[in-house]
Structure 1
Amino acid sequence: MRGACTFPRNILGTPSHSASRLRTLHLVFLPLGTDHLSSAHRRRIIVVPVLLALNVLTYATAFWGAGRGFWSVGGFYQKLALDWDGFVWWNMFSYQFLHDPNGIWHLLGNMFFLWTFGLAAEARVGRVRFLLAYLLGGALAGVAQIAVSQGSVIGASGSVSTVAGLFIALFPGARIYGLSLIGLGMVAIPASFFIILYVAIDLVDALLDLTGIRRSSIGNFAHLAGMAFGIGIGLTLLWLKQLPRTETDLLHAISQWQRRRTFRAAMREGNAWSASSASSTPPSRLAANAADTHSELERALRAEIATFYAQRDFPKAADRYRRLLADRSDAVLSAELQIDLATQLISAGDPTTGAHALSLFVVRFPNDHRSEEVKLLLATVLARTLGQSDRARGVLADIREGMLPTDKRTYYHALMDEVG
C-alpha cells in the first residue's frame, strides 16, 4: 500500500522513494492475512488471484519485451502511465498495473497488501462489486494524485488503498496476522490501528509535499483518495442494505457508539431509568440521605417490604417500595427483591416506577448474572409501554449480547430493529 509512485515525465529519470520505504516496512512487519476469512469463503475468491497475476505479468512483460527489442522499458511505462499531458481515459486503469521498474519492492508490497485485505473483502462484497471498487477506486486515486503533483503516476496502491478502506468499513475490529522480522515471529495486530497508522503517515507526507518542505515520489494523495473511496463504498453498500448488516461492520460500530453516547448523556441528564435519578435529587435530600442512611421512615418501610415479601404479598410489598422511592429516589433493595418488585410495579400498571426500579438494579448490581436480562426488560418497558425509544436505544446499546441467554438474543435483535 505504501507504493503509488510519481515520476518525472521521462518515467525512469528518478529512483522512487517507495522502494526504500517498503524495504523498511518489510524489515518490521510482513502482513499475510486477517482473521475474517472462512474456508468456505476462500473457494469463491477469484478476482484477487487474477489481479495478482495481472500485476506480476505486466511487470514481467515490460522487461520481456524490452529484452527482445519490441519496446524500451521507459517507452512501455510512458504509454501506460497516468499523466495530465497526453491524457487518455484508459490510462486511469492501465497505470494501476505498473510498478517501479527500479526494484521489486513496490510490486511486492502492493501485492502483499492486496492479498491481506482483498480476500475477505471480495468474499464479503462479491466478485463484481470488488472488481469495480478496485478499478474505480484506483482511477479516482490516480486522478487525485496527478491533480496535485507533477509527473506521471504508476502503481496499484491507490487501488489497494481502496481495498483496505473497504475492508475497514466491513471489518473494523479485525486483526492482521503477519510475520514480524525483528525477532517476534508471527504476530497479530488490530487492522484499524495498522490502517490508521498508514493514513497518518500519508497525511503528514501530503502536508510536507503541499508546503514544499519535502518532495517525494510516493503517491500520498492517491493513497488517501483510495482509502476514502473504499470506506465510502463500504458504508454506502451497508446503508443501502446491498450487503447484510453484521455486528462486525463499521456502520454497526458507529451505531453502537451513538447509542452508548445517548446512554451516557441520559445518565448525566437524570433520566428516570438511570442512576442519575439520584443526582437529580435536591442537594438537601442527598445530604440527608448521606447523613442518615437509615432514617426512621426508611427503616419502617424496609421492614414492611421484607414482611410482605416473606408473606408473598407482592402488591403490598411493591406499594411500600413505591413509598420508599418517594422518600428516597435512589433506594435499592436486595437484588432478588429489586427484580421482583420492579416487575410487580410494571404488571400493576405503574411502568414508570417499575422502569426506575429496574434502572436502579442495573446501576447497583452491574455484575449480577441477571443484569443483561434486566436491561432487556427495561428496554422493553421503555420502548413498548412508555414510548421512550431514545432511552430504550441507550439501554440496548449497553447490553453485552454475549451474556444474554441464547433464547433471548433473537428478541434482543428484534427490539433493536424496532427502536431503530
Structure 2
Amino acid sequence: MIFPIRTDRRLRHTPVINVSLIVINVLIFIGTAGQVTDLIRSWQTSDASPAYDQIVQNFPVYRYYLSPDHPQWFQFLSSQFLHASWEHLIGNMIFLWVFGNSLEDRLGKIGYLAFYLAAGVVAGLGHCAVSDNPVLGASGAIAAVTGGFLALFPLSNVTLVWWFFLIHAFEVSSIYLILFSFGWDVYQQVARVGGGVANMAHISGYVFGFGVCMILLATRILEREIYDFLALVDRWNRRRQLRQVTRSGQSPWLAETAPAKHKPDDVDEDTQRVMRFRGAINRALTERQDARAVEQFAELMELDPKQVLSHQAQLDLANHAMSINRHDVAAQAYEGYLQHYPNADDIVQIRLILALIYARYLRQPDRARQLVEGLDDQLTDPAQQEMARQVLKEVAT
C-alpha cells in the first residue's frame, strides 16, 4: 500500500477550511455509516431492483447520494460528504490533507471553500454524463484539489509511504504523481475496468481544478510565482524559440546592437549571476535550507540591491533572516517587500516588524518612527497597537 503523507510546500496560514472539511466528513460518516453499510449489503444480497422511493423509505441516507436517474440539486453537494467505508473515507481524507492545505494557503479561505464545493459539483456532472449508477464520496472534489496543486506547485515534492511488511518513505515529484493518477483514471474509464470507481468524476475534477487555477494565474487574479505551471510553460516556450533561432543559423542576440557603456559580455555575466542566485535561493527555500537561503540572498543584495523575489519567497526569506538574527538581511528583505507588494494583506504587520528591527537592532530610530507614523487608523488589532507603542517607546529612549 502506497499513500502520501506530506509535501515540501511551506504553509503561511493555518488551513482552517481544509481541517473543517475533514472534520465534517468524519462526523457525517460516523452518523451515516450504519445506514450506508446496510444499504450496500442489501444491494449485494438482493437480486431485485427496488424503486428509488422504496430505497429512500428504507434507507433515508440514499436521498443524499448523487443519483443520475433521480438528480436533485442538493445531491451534488451532499454526496461529497458521504463515504461507503472507513477505507474510503481515510483514503480520501489523506489526499485532502496532503494537497488541500497548500491550495487553501494560495487561494485563501473563502476562495478555497468555493473552489472545493464547485469542484464537487463539476465532478458530479461529469459522472452523470456517462453513468446511471449512484455515487458518493469526496474524491471528485479532491481530484480537483490535486489538479489545482499541479497548476500552482508542479515542482513540489511529495513524500510517499510504502507499507509492505516494512514501512519505507520516499519522495517523488508532484507532477509525476498527479499525472500518473490522472492517466490511471483515464485508462480505467476508457478500458471500462475498475468497477465501483467513479473515474469520470475524478477526471472531471482533475480538469476543473487544473483549468481553474491556470486561468487564475493567466489572468493574474492569483499572484504568479516563479515555479508555477504557467511559468514552466513560458520557460519551455522561450527555450523552444531559442533552439529554432539557433538551428536556423541566426544569432538570438542579433538585434542587440545599441551601444552600451559596458561590454555585452560583462552585462550578460552579471545577469547570469543574478539569475543563478535567484534560482539557488528558491531551491534553498523549497528544500528548507533556511540559513543557506538567507546567506545567498545577502550576496544577491550585494550584487543588485534592487532584486526582489516572488511575494511568498520574499516574505519567507525575510522571516527566516529574522529568526536566525540576521537583522540586516531581514531589513533589506522586508524593505523590498514593502516597496514591491504595497497592497499585501499583511503590510501593516510587516511595517511594524521592520520598525522594530530598526529600533531595537539596527539603531535607526528615524526610519523606525517613519514606519510607525500614519498607522493609527489601521491598527485595529490590540497586539499590533501594543507593538507600535513599544517601537515608539524604544526610539524615544
| Superposition TM-score, scaled by structure 2 size | 0.61
CA deviations on 1:372-393 (whole Å, 9 max, x unpaired) are 426599xxxxxxxxxxxxxxxx
CA distance in structure 2 between the aligned counterparts of 1:109 and 1:146, rounded to whole angstroms: 23
Aligned length: 273
2:8 aligns to what? Answer: 35
Matched, 1:205 2:102: no
2:23 aligns to what? Answer: 53
CA distance in structure 1 between the aligned counterparts of 2:186 and 2:31, rounded to whole angstroms: 34
Matched, 1:235 2:208: no
- Displacement of 1:64 in angstroms is 5.9
- Displacement of 1:85 in angstroms is 2.1
- Displacement of 1:74 in angstroms is 6.8
Q: Residue type of the partner of 2:78?
A: S
DSSP-derived class of the 2:259 partner: helix
Q: Residue type of the partner of 2:119?
A: G
When residues 372 and 56 of structure 1 are mapped into structure 2, their CA distance, relative to the original with a 3 A threshold, is farther
- Displacement of 1:400 in angstroms is 7.5
When residues 371 and 66 of structure 1 are mapped into structure 2, their CA distance, relative to the original with a 3 A threshold, is closer
CA deviations on 1:335-381 (whole Å, 9 max, x unpaired) are xxxxxxx99x9348xx9xx76xx4xx9xxxxxxxx96426599xxxx
When residues 128 and 83 of structure 1 are mapped into structure 2, their CA distance, relative to the original with a 3 A threshold, is same
CA deviations on 1:70-111 (whole Å, 9 max, x unpaired) are x999724411011122211010000101111xx321111100
Q: Residue type of the partner of 2:180?
A: L
- Displacement of 1:402 in angstroms is 3.0
CA distance in structure 1 between the aligned counterparts of 2:70 and 2:99, rounded to whole angstroms: 34
CA distance in structure 1 between the aligned counterparts of 2:160 and 2:105, rounded to whole angstroms: 20
1:78 aligns to what? Answer: 62
Matched, 1:97 2:70: no
CA distance in structure 2 between the aligned counterparts of 1:72 and 1:104, rounded to whole angstroms: 23
RMSD (CA atoms): 3.4
* Higher Rg of the two aligned structures: 1
Match runs of 1:67-216 below 5 Å: 75-100=59-84, 103-182=85-164, 183=166, 185-209=168-192, 214=193, 216=195
CA deviations on 1:310-352 (whole Å, 9 max, x unpaired) are xxxxxxxxxxxxxxxxxxxxxxxxxxxxxxxx99x9348xx9x
When residues 147 and 225 of structure 1 are mapped into structure 2, their CA distance, relative to the original with a 3 A threshold, is same
Q: Percent identity?
A: 27
**C-alpha contact (below 8 Å) 1:62/1:73 kept by paired residues:** no
**C-alpha contact (below 8 Å) 2:35/2:59 kept by paired residues:** no
When residues 374 and 33 of structure 1 are mapped into structure 2, their CA distance, relative to the original with a 3 A threshold, is closer
**C-alpha contact (below 8 Å) 2:300/2:307 kept by paired residues:** no
CA distance in structure 2 between the aligned counterparts of 1:240 and 1:164, rounded to whole angstroms: 21
**C-alpha contact (below 8 Å) 2:18/2:101 kept by paired residues:** yes
CA distance in structure 2 between the aligned counterparts of 1:76 and 1:194, rounded to whole angstroms: 38
**C-alpha contact (below 8 Å) 1:376/1:412 kept by paired residues:** no
- Displacement of 1:32 in angstroms is 1.2
| Superposition TM-score, scaled by structure 1 size | 0.58
Unaligned runs of 5+ in 2: 38-54, 281-298, 311-397
CA distance in structure 1 between the aligned counterparts of 2:202 and 2:58, rounded to whole angstroms: 24
2:279 aligns to what? Answer: 402
DSSP-derived class of the 2:238 partner: helix
1:225 aligned residue (183, 198, 204): 204
Larger RCO (CA under 8 A, 6+ residues apart): 1
CA distance in structure 2 between the aligned counterparts of 1:137 and 1:117, rounded to whole angstroms: 14
**C-alpha contact (below 8 Å) 1:161/1:223 kept by paired residues:** yes
1:304 aligns to what? Answer: none
Matched, 1:257 2:134: no
Q: Residue type of the partner of 1:33?
A: R
2:270 aligned residue (373, 380, 384): 373
**C-alpha contact (below 8 Å) 1:66/1:73 kept by paired residues:** no
Q: Residue type of the partner of 1:35?
A: D
CA distance in structure 1 between the aligned counterparts of 2:234 and 2:36, rounded to whole angstroms: 55
**C-alpha contact (below 8 Å) 2:83/2:137 kept by paired residues:** yes
Q: Residue type of the partner of 1:402?
A: G
1:312 aligns to what? Answer: none
Match runs of 1:245-394 below 5 Å: 245-273=224-252, 346-347=259-260, 358=265, 372-373=269-270
Unaligned runs of 5+ in 1: 1-26, 278-341, 362-369, 378-395, 415-420
When residues 232 and 273 of structure 1 are mapped into structure 2, their CA distance, relative to the original with a 3 A threshold, is closer
CA distance in structure 2 between the aligned counterparts of 1:233 and 1:125, rounded to whole angstroms: 11
When residues 87 and 113 of structure 1 are mapped into structure 2, their CA distance, relative to the original with a 3 A threshold, is same
CA distance in structure 1 between the aligned counterparts of 2:271 and 2:175, rounded to whole angstroms: 33
CA distance in structure 2 between the aligned counterparts of 1:207 and 1:224, rounded to whole angstroms: 11
